[in-house]
Amino acid sequence: MPHPAFAPGAVAVVTGGASGIGRAAATRFARLGLTVCLADLGEERLAAAAQAIKTAVPDAAVMTMATDVSRLDDLQKLEATVREEFGGTDVLMNNAGVQPGSHMFGPEASWQRVLEVNLWGVIHGCQVFVPGMMARGRPGLVINTGSKQGITTPPGDPAYNVSKAGVKTFTELLAYELRTTEGCAVSAHLLIPGFVFTALTARGRTEKPAGAWTPEQTIESMMERLEHGDFYILCPDNEVSHALDARRILWAAGDIVENRPPLSRWHPDYAEAFAAFVKAGDKP
């Protein structure tokens, strides 16, 4: 069964909603009859996204608001506007994110921006919206966009990995808080996309790589897993199956249990052991 928050006339707020996964989610929500509020940077980008949604769903109700999720006051204004216009929020998707690239000893400003948007944007979004969603006493849904890089934390982009690892932990604790609050009808979920072709991952490419999913495929997978009540919405892609993701995640956890060097998956001394571990997962 669809999550009860996806009821016609319900209100969905999507940050990072002007493109990519956010816009695909907003379009899907609009098809279900929800009023959609897009929050992102850039009035022109927001207007184009709203028009695209209305083209796909002619009777869609779409509101846009320029919002920098790293700014608490921007999110407070967004929440107040949605509440005044529509009575409150039923679905909150904290999806806004940046990935400019980072280095362990890189400029503090680069680290600050990534953490402010990717992590504090989620924390602020939940702190600003969720208490009101709970107080409504009706089914509500929070979806925070994480990343596999926040789980297996591969080398190469430390600021992004730290931000997404924080989103994972925060969302787990949020889910616990919601499920242990008497009378709360709001649930929290962690979206973990695979390789998705978006402006964030394009890096100059204009055509989708064969290994990538589209944002629409990712949202289709998300909606299916929400119907099953999943908290961890782990999405595959055209290169990495769910089974391979599972082995990689188990291996990463094993670094702690087995007291291996951190990130041993990328350590030459463990290359053969990791390959054998993955292969063992293919056996029936």
Q: Which two tokens stand for residue 54?
A: 């209305």
Q: What pLDDT does 246 receive?
A: 96
Q: Is the dihedral of CA 15, 19, 21, 23 positive or negative?
A: positive
pLDDT value of position 253: 97
| pLDDT, tens digit, 9 for 90 and up, residues 207-263 | 878 889 999 999 999 999 999 999 999 999 999 999 999 999 999 999 999 999 999
The residue annotated as part of the active site, out of 160, 176, 232, 270, is 160
pLDDT, tens digit, 9 for 90 and up, residues 131-154: 999 999 999 999 999 999 999 999
Q: Please, are residues 243 and 282 in contact by the beta-carbon 8 Å criterion? A: yes
Active site residue 232: no
Confidence of residue 202 (pLDDT cuts 50, 70, 90): low
One-letter identity of residue 58? P
pLDDT of residue 50: 98
pLDDT digits (tens, 9 = 90+) for 53-71: 999 999 999 999 999 999 9
**Cα–Cα distance, 145 to 125 (Å, whole number):** 12
How far apart are the two ends of the chain, measured CA to CA in Å? 30
Buried b (16+ CB within 10 A) or exposed e, 55-70: eebeebbbbbbbbbbb
Where residue 203 falls among pLDDT bands split at 50, 70, 90? Answer: low
What is the reported pTM?
0.95
Domains of the chain: 11-239 (3.40.50.720), 241-284 (no CATH)
More confident residue, 101 or 206: 101
Q: What is the pLDDT of residue 284?
A: 58
- Counted residue by residue, the chain has a size of 284
Give the span between the Cα atoms of 186 and 239, in whole angstroms: 34
